[in-house]
Copies of this chain bind each other. A is one copy, B any other.
């Protein structure tokens, strides 16, 4: 079976308990791969999204149903008998730009060592959600056909404590999606222009730097593009915004079957639009119920925000 527009997502599926200045949640479904898959599924109408991850048998049927409703294939989601699903709890500060992790219980994620189903090994769009770099690498190595596009996310913890492994994985990917602080940490450069140049030298052909409420930057070795963030009344809950952004990014690219820089510019706007929905409510609440009209309306707002009509002398 040809899978020219399919997306393969690897990452955590989790329970989150979130506290923000606006309130707090009980354990709700979260995890990088969850947000990524949902976002990708909205944009990728030309292909299917496949999820590889691990949960315990405490993971509810309603969670599996949610994936099914979005057309997300969870054949690669291992349900570990007697195991408990990864649990994260965090509390955001008043400015919403920083948070404290209150609890991290890896549970079944500690033994996550994915073996890709045979039919996943030729999927052309591969999104490596934030995970131990060694696992990300093992997934790449299991691919029988080199994907058209490999995008990876990572986080401060891996940059700090698993730097060598991270650098090995980085050599194998096309795009790294990273936030501004992580880009500085990885490169040792404060200037994001210099940081991106150093990261490009580590392997990826494209660096995406997420700046949260300040938008996102896309660099290759000779071009730069800036996608604004929509000024919002309130950011209700930033959890998952970066993953939603990444999911929208790869979802759009898979949908059009593209990997060129101009297509990535559009993909970043789509990712930004989806992320702007994500932060409007707790967890997946807003992301679970989006219409195509809402998405294209939001995209239009992003375009209008920077639209200018200018003559040159």
Contacts and interface: CB of A to CB of B under 8 A. Distances in A.
A226 B234 CA distance: 17
A192 B309 CA distance: 25
Contact of A231 (B224, B234, B299, B306): B224
A309 B190 contact: no
Interface string A211-237: 100110100000011111001111100
A269 B310 CA distance: 10
Contact of A194 (B224, B233, B306, B308): B233
A103 B187 CA distance: 36
Contacts of A313: 296
Contacts of A198: none
Among A94, A191, A269, A303, the most chain B Cβ lie within 10 Å of the Cβ of: A191
Copies of this chain present in the complex amount to 2
B305 A233 contact: no
A193 B305 contact: no
B305 A226 contact: yes
Interface string A54-94: 00000000000000000000000000000000000000001
Interface string A292-311: 00001001100101111110
| Candidate in A233, A235, A309 with the most chain B CB atoms within 10 angstroms | A233
Contact of A308 (B190, B192, B269, B310): B269
A233 B224 CA distance: 13
A194 B269 CA distance: 24
A99 interface: no
Contact of A266 (B191, B192, B265, B310): B310
A172 to B, nearest CB: 27
B265 A308 contact: yes
A262 interface: yes
Contacts of A303: 308, 310
A119 interface: no
Given A193-B231, A226-B228, A296 B312 contact: yes
Nearest to A214: B214
Contacts of A217: 231
Contacts of A307: 225
Contacts of A310: 266, 269, 299, 303
A143 B96 CA distance: 45
Nearest to A310: B266
Interface of A: 94-95, 190-194, 211, 214-215, 217, 224-228, 231-235, 262, 265-266, 269, 296, 299-300, 303, 305-310, 312-313
11 contacts: A94-B190, A193-B232, A194-B233, A194-B234, A215-B228, A225-B307, A226-B228, A226-B231, A227-B306, A300-B312, A303-B310
